Chains A and B, each alone.
Chain A
Amino acid sequence: MSVDEETARRRYNRDMVLGFIAYGALLVPCLFIIDANPDAGWRYALAPLPMIPAVFMVMAYVRYYRTADELQQRIALESLAFAFGGTFLVTFTYGFLDHAGLPRINWWFVWPVMSTLWIIGGFLARKRWL
């Protein structure tokens, strides 16, 4: 690992840890307050607040891959392409099954599906190139 890459990796890890801490710190009180005020109109403004630190985590992810070298970028692209296509196949397949009568699944499942496919895609891309 080159010095620049190590610095970029350290910054990425730091930003992710801080993002997770901020996410957790906002998530718990937001859920508690919303559950305690089920009829309040402002709950829709409060509900997505934990996503603010998530925006910074996404920015950290993009910034890290901008500084990554060409092979790492290729591996990232292949794993994301795998996850993008796979998520389309999984979500649309289930959408048709939902239409046919299977129970409706929460939107929260989309990201775990995509990140699982991203991990599998990353494993396959690394196996191919490294």
Chain B
Amino acid sequence: MTNTLRELRAERGWTQADLSEELGVSRQTVNAIETGKYDPSLPLAFRIAALFDRPIEAIFHPDA
């Protein structure tokens, strides 16, 4: 799965630490999601979508 989390975070001028605090996860977890090494659970994906006020499918995309 790919995602646009890094771009969305950059739009808000947030660091990974800022985003991790908003989501209640570690900074390493934010980095692992951004680099595509880890796909978040559905509850965490919903939290991310709610935080950026977008539908999940606008942030996460299945691999082509």
Contacts and interface: CB of A to CB of B under 8 A. Distances in A.
A3 B27 CA distance: 11
Nearest to B25: A69
A71 B32 contact: yes
A71 B28 CA distance: 9
Interface of B: 17, 20-21, 23-29, 31-32, 37-38, 40-41, 44
Contact of A2 (B24, B38, B40, B44): B24
A4 B24 CA distance: 7
Interface in A90-130: 128-130
Interface residues of A, number: 13
Contacts of A1: 17, 20, 26-27
A129 B24 CA distance: 18
Among the interface residues A4, A129, A130, which one has the most CB atoms of the partner chain B within 10 A?
A130
B40 A70 contact: yes
Nearest 3 CB-CB pairings of A with B: A69-B25, A71-B29, A2-B21
Contacts of B41: 70
A130 B25 contact: no
Given A1-B17, A129-B32, A69 B24 contact: yes
